[in-house]
Amino acid sequence: MKLTENFISNGTRIWLAILLLGIGGVIAFLNIGRLEDPAFTIKTAVVVTRYDGASAQQVEEEITLPLENAIQQLPYIDNITSISSVGLSQITINIRAEYGSAELPQIWDELRRRIGDSAVRLPPGSSPPIVNDDFGDVYGFFFSLHGNGYSNQELRNFAEQLRRELVLVPGVGKVGIVGVLPEEVQIEISRAQMTAANIIPQQLNDLLLRQNVVSNAGQLMVGSESIRLHPTGEFYNVQELGNLLVSQPGSAKSVYLRDIATITQGVSHSPNSIYRANGQPAVSIGVSFAPNVNVIVVGDAVQARLAQLEAERPAGMEISVFYDQAHEVEGAVNGFIMNFLLALLIVVGTLLIFMGVRSGLVIAASLALNVLGTLLLMKLFNIELQRVSLGALVIALSMLVDNAIVIVEGVLVGRQQGESTLKAITNVVKRTMFPLLGATIIAILAFAPIGLSNDATGEYCKSLFQVLLISLMLSWFTALTLTPVFTKWAFEKQKMAQPEADGEVKTPYDGWLFRVYRNVLRKLLHQRTITLSVLVALLVASVIGFGQVRQSFFPPSNTPIFFVDLWLPYGTDIGYTEEIAAKIEGHIREQAGVSDTMVTIGQGAMRFMLTYNAQRQYSNYAQVMVRAEQLNQIPQMIDQIEGYVRDQYPQVSVQAKRIMFGPSNNSSIEARFIGPDPDVLRSLADQAEKIASSDSNSDGVRHDWQERNKVIRPQFSEHLGRELGVDKREIDGALRMSFGGATVGLYRDGTRLMPIVLRTPDAERLNAERLNDVMIWSQARQAFIPIDNVVNGFTTEWEDPLIMRLDRKRTLTVQADPSSASGETSAELLQRIKPGIDAIELPRGYELEWGGDYESTKEAQAGLFTSLPVAFVVMFIITVLMFSSFKNALAIWLTIPLALIGVTVGFLLTGIPFGFMALIGLLSLSGMLIRNGIVLVDEIGQQRQKKPILEAIIDASTSRLRPILLTAFTTVLGLAPLLSDAFFQSMAVVIMFGLGFATVLTLLVLPVIYSCMNSDKKKPAVEA
């Protein structure tokens, strides 16, 4: 109360607050950080270990299992997944939700120590494990270099030049380059020439290591001067390798490497990944932004620097930007600002129409300062403008007017009853200060579960709670300070209501709406049993009807990008995968509406969006990323592309996917079978795949272990091998050199170290019929011998190419998605196929778990519901303390389920799926309803001090009719622009329909419930 008087009587404080909130808010808006999506921490690290030559089972047992055991001992671990494939172990570590970004560096350091301690116990031949904890870095400016006639090395050279320049741009965090093919020095020599010259790979390896070595030759003292000795002999260009003398010492004829081999510098024939852009081979560059920067400003600076470097770009080499986060953020922010301004216009227009010009302008001025003050505090607390925080501002917009409406309404009523403006302000502030504070805190607490949730989804949506906390508390403060000042300025010179001829002041509730409401309320109070019975019937019907509402987790993004995943049979060479992917990309580029394409072969792309999930390394995998000109063109494109690939390339498994809002999974439906025997797991997977595939609306049905592939097993004879001085390692080396390439040394080229690879010419290396012609060096005979001298034959077997594990248990995951043409959500498809898969009989020791959106939804809801009881208990306690009455608090809380009636009707009418944001909307809706209930019950309590209970209920309800209806009306209309936003539309449906229905029912039903729980001994008759 003193706070209000101090503001009204002190002009300095008034203008200081106005200028601070107004000018500070404008400055904050111009400088606040901007993002497309809210940042959330990717609490994931990947450990990669090579074990060349080992089968998937050997990798699992000798590499993956020991490392998993060491990692599992860390107390921070949520889960561990691993992929054991031929010669490669990939372990993914996910950290528990309660650990934040500030604690991750220490966790990763401890992880590295554990891995380092375990590495010494790994088998010989394995590489040191590599820990990648930059897995969550987002490269928001993602572009490619490509051009006709340019080699990968030339593209790489210009990419490195750009990296050196772009990393210096203020606000840039990292610059990464992908698509660079590993360079190598290739020595091609035929088997016949090696045999004739008696040259073995080990001999070349020894020669190269001894010759091309950096070693210390010491120093020479000349008087007082120390001069370094540095002999020549190192290779300074590739052709100097040809001068290497390879003949045996003392040989009659000197044989140089150039005499028997062709030496070239090229790229690896089996890289881990290959990139293409707009139909050409490419090198791609990603630029990540530093934390807490304005992405739009930094993005513009990056574009400006690229423009400055344009003169240095080689002629014919093109720069194609596939994703520009700054541009996307600018579009998203501008779109939301338009939604915000439209909502603001709707709210202010509604106030002007229903409360008059003066009242409307008072509330509009308070609202404007509230919004600007919220932006100022967001800037101070490092809360960026992004999808969720901007949506929170739109939601808060309609809630911010609540407190101001109550104050202005109270002043209007007081003046109509003959009070002066100052006295009316004093009375209404004194009467409503603490009820409004309690109602505001309760409205904030309704959003607290999302603010206190520590899982990825909660972190993604956390700014929703933060912005509403700031804005609503600020609205309460301004309602007690600035709103009374504006009200005084608006009405102090206006004439007060004059008494009628009989001396009484005209009541402010004589309008037709108030009369109708009073009559309806009287009848309901007389028919309490019928009223509550009808209400219960409506509630039961809404619960039943809610079962027909479509369910989802997060909706597809409105960014016009989609992905086409291509899976060839496992074991396909990455070169052939690139060939097929290039043909499919060419077809996609012919489609109308395609703006840009980028293809990554062998693994997923670098993370250019926070919600993008990249695939691990698979030589049979490719992903075509397509940017469309318009969002509405994507469904038709997806149908056409999937149909084309299935018709023209039946061996390719194709699936197109949209970008999703929020944390996403590889597949929206995942059934995990857990058990020890791969044969049993595959049998269970076959049954599940048949069930999923039998649904016409399913798509992309497959399992992550992929098909078993062939392996050729030369049957080595240990007896013959010992006689001829040949062991298994020499057989492996000879086969590797003959059909792939054997590394025999390193070549130094400035900052790059390139392996020197010895191999046979293409005519021999790519000919499977030459398998029996392989020659092996015999130590006993000091000569080459045919491989069949030590091998009894060749057999072909089948093996598991991949072994997946989850928390150290073998886990095979069957994956599926709803087809894009069906328009169904994953929940709808899962509802049909889940009973059949659940009915599969599992052998003893085997389990079935459900992942995908089903698991993500459960985890997100668990994170929400963990803190929900605490928030609701505190809300209920506050309600009880405000009225010192358990019965009054219970009466208010019994109105919350009424919202479900409107929510069910809203979803059934619109057909919009009920997602995670809708669940948050339900929680927020409870706070809004309790807020309305508190204001109403508080007014009834004040009226009861002067009147009998029934008169008090009717008069109090009538006096609260306009503020409650106006608040609900502005909220419903203010949220209308969010119906066009894919992310917030389900929340908008919940609040608009739920609040709309529940407000009317609250005004009618809450008085009835209150009358049932409170009695009056006098029981006066209600006026007719």
Q: Is the distance from CB of 288 to CB of 252 less than 8 angstroms? A: no
Task: Give CA–CA dist 1003/888, Å, rounded.
Answer: 15
Q: Which of 489-498, 639-648, 1004-1013 has the lowest mean pLDDT?
A: 489-498
Q: Is the pLDDT confidence value at 373 over 80?
A: yes
* Region 519-548+885-1024: CATH code: 1.20.1640.10
Residue 1021: band (very low, low, confident or very high) from pLDDT cuts 50, 70, 90: very low
Task: Give CA–CA dist 408/410, Å, rounded.
Answer: 5
Task: Check if 1-31+356-495 and 136-181+274-345+557-659 are the same fold.
Answer: no
Task: Give CA–CA dist 468/692, Å, rounded.
Answer: 43
* Per-residue confidence (pLDDT) for residue 494, from 0 to 100: 67
Residue 220: band (very low, low, confident or very high) from pLDDT cuts 50, 70, 90: confident
Q: Is the pLDDT confidence value at 637 over 60?
A: yes
What token pair was written down for 669?
């439906």
Place of tokens 């940017």: 627
* Per-residue confidence (pLDDT) for residue 167, from 0 to 100: 94
Write the pLDDT tens digit of every residue in 789-819: 888 888 888 989 999 999 999 999 999 988 8
* Per-residue confidence (pLDDT) for residue 469, from 0 to 100: 92
Q: What residues contact residue 216 under an 8 Å CB cut-off, 6+ apart? A: none
Q: Is the pLDDT confidence value at 482 over 80?
A: yes
Query: Span 79-97, mean pLDDT?
Result: 91
Q: Which of 526, 359, 301, 418 is nearest to 1008 (CA)?
A: 526
190-214+231-260+709-799 CATH, one of 3.40.50.920, 3.40.190.10, 3.30.2090.10, 3.40.630.10: 3.30.2090.10
SS3 704: coil
Q: Which of 89, 90, 108, 91 is nearest to 41 (CA)?
A: 108
Q: Which of 588, 538, 590, 616 is nearest to 600 (CA)?
A: 616
* Per-residue confidence (pLDDT) for residue 226, from 0 to 100: 87
Q: Which of 486-495, 503-512, 597-606, 701-710 has the lowest mean pLDDT?
A: 503-512
* Per-residue confidence (pLDDT) for residue 382, from 0 to 100: 87
Domain residue extents for the chain: 1-31+356-495, 43-135, 136-181+274-345+557-659, 190-214+231-260+709-799, 519-548+885-1024
Query: Span 292-316, mean pLDDT?
Result: 90
- Higher-confidence residue of 845 and 723: namely 845
Please report how many Cα atoms fall inside a 13 Å half-sphere around the Cα of residue 633, on the Cβ side. 14
Residue 1020: band (very low, low, confident or very high) from pLDDT cuts 50, 70, 90: very low
What token pair was written down for 190?
């035929």
Q: Is the pLDDT confidence value at 583 over 90?
A: yes
* Per-residue confidence (pLDDT) for residue 1019, from 0 to 100: 45
- What is the architecture of the domain spanning 43-135? 2-Layer Sandwich (3.30)
136-181+274-345+557-659: what CATH class?
alpha beta
Report yes or no on whether pTM surpasses 0.85: no
Task: Give CA–CA dist 960/362, Å, rounded.
Answer: 19
* Region 1-31+356-495: CATH code: 1.20.1640.10
- Higher-confidence residue of 872 and 582: namely 582
Task: Give CA–CA dist 285/156, Å, rounded.
Answer: 10
Write the pLDDT tens digit of every residue in 526-551: 888 898 899 899 989 998 988 888 87
